[in-house]
Amino acid sequence: MTHTHGVRLSGEERAEAILAEVQRFGFASITALSESLAVSDMTIRRDVRRLAGDGELRLVHGGVSLPHGTLRTATFAGRADQEASAKQLIAEAAVRLLTSITTIVVDSGTTCYGVASALPRDFRGTVITHSIPVLQQMLGHQQAVVLGLGGELLSEGQVLIGPRTTAAALELSVDVFFLGANSVDARGVYLRGDREYPIKSAFIERASRVVLLADGSKLTHTAPVKLANLDVLSAIITNGPVPPELADRCASLGVEIINVQQSTARNQD
């Protein structure tokens, strides 16, 4: 733990130091923070109550920890901030497809992470995932059954992957798979690399419905690794605009396009 060596910090500086400590270790005790920052327990308790009130920390016995669903790395948090409002609308539209007892797989990535955030607290279905942030978020859903698939940690995407993960996925029976990808066009769904290809393919195979969650940037970007043809999809939820060739191909295959931007515009008319 970083020590101040007698330097008196402002309240804002203390808050930054407390957050840095908890982000690093996941937990910090009141006593350790008090000693490190050379202030009283009372001062630390006041600081952490303020941070907890802002949703930055969670108060636990003897100290503070990360809140449920905290985005643990800067890269993931940075991606979550991109198209944030669109991702929220997409996630809310995805949740509206579910009943309270649906069995779902929530894929990795920040758009799919939004589904876990948008699930109502009384959701009583089953959530399956290999995503660490999704598992963290589901800690707050006490009525749901949550199954985490183990494997090797891929730090950049905060996911668990590998042969055992894929083998476990192939044993599942799933109602809906909320799929994340890097690109989609009239030819299919694409990924940036092949590290998650096996696990995503397994989820597609075992799901009754596959719903692609793709913010507008995924409709214009390209990616090199083809995951699947469009005919594996039941629906695409996006904030568009949808290129005509993609719209035509989806129409011919019976793939529903749910455009949350258009839905929002109609509601405002």
pLDDT at site 63 = 83
Which class is domain 74-268? alpha beta
Between CA 264 and CA 42 the distance in angstroms is 48
How much is the CA Rg of the chain, to the nearest whole Å?
Answer: 21
Q: Is the pLDDT of residue 2 over 80?
A: no
Q: What is the pLDDT of residues 58-68, one digit of tens each?
A: 887 788 877 75
From-to residues of CATH 1.10.10.10 in the chain: 11-65
Strands 126-129, 103-106: parallel, antiparallel or unpaired by DSSP?
parallel
Q: How far is CA 12 from CA 7, 51, 54, 227, in A?
A: 14, 11, 13, 47
* pLDDT band of 6, cuts 50, 70, 90: low
Sign of the dihedral through C-alpha 38, 44, 46, 47: positive
Comparing 83-87, 174-178, 260-264, which segment has the lowest mean pLDDT?
Answer: 260-264
Summary mean pLDDT of the chain: 88
- Which residues are CB-contacts of 239 (< 8 A; sequence separation ≥ 6)? 83, 86, 89, 90, 215, 216, 259, 260, 261
Q: What percent of the chain has pLDDT over 90?
A: 60
Q: Is the pLDDT of residue 96 over 90?
A: yes
pTM above 0.85, yes or no: no
Between 204 and 220, the higher pLDDT residue: 204
- Whose CA is closest to 24, among 64, 61, 53, 60? 64
Between 84 and 123, the higher pLDDT residue: 123
pLDDT at site 75 = 58
What value does the mean pLDDT take over residues 54-60?
81
Between CA 119 and CA 103 the distance in angstroms is 13
CB atoms within 10 A of CB 155: 11
The two three-digit tokens of residue 176, written as one number: 């809906």
From-to residues of CATH 3.40.50.1360 in the chain: 74-268
Q: What is the CATH number of domain 11-65?
A: 1.10.10.10
Cα 226–Cα 84–Cα 120 angle in degrees, nearest 5: 95
Strands 145-148, 152-154: parallel, antiparallel or unpaired by DSSP?
unpaired
Q: What is the pLDDT of residues 145-172, one digit of tens each?
A: 999 999 999 987 889 999 999 999 999 9
Q: Is the pLDDT of residue 183 over 60?
A: yes
pLDDT at site 4 = 53
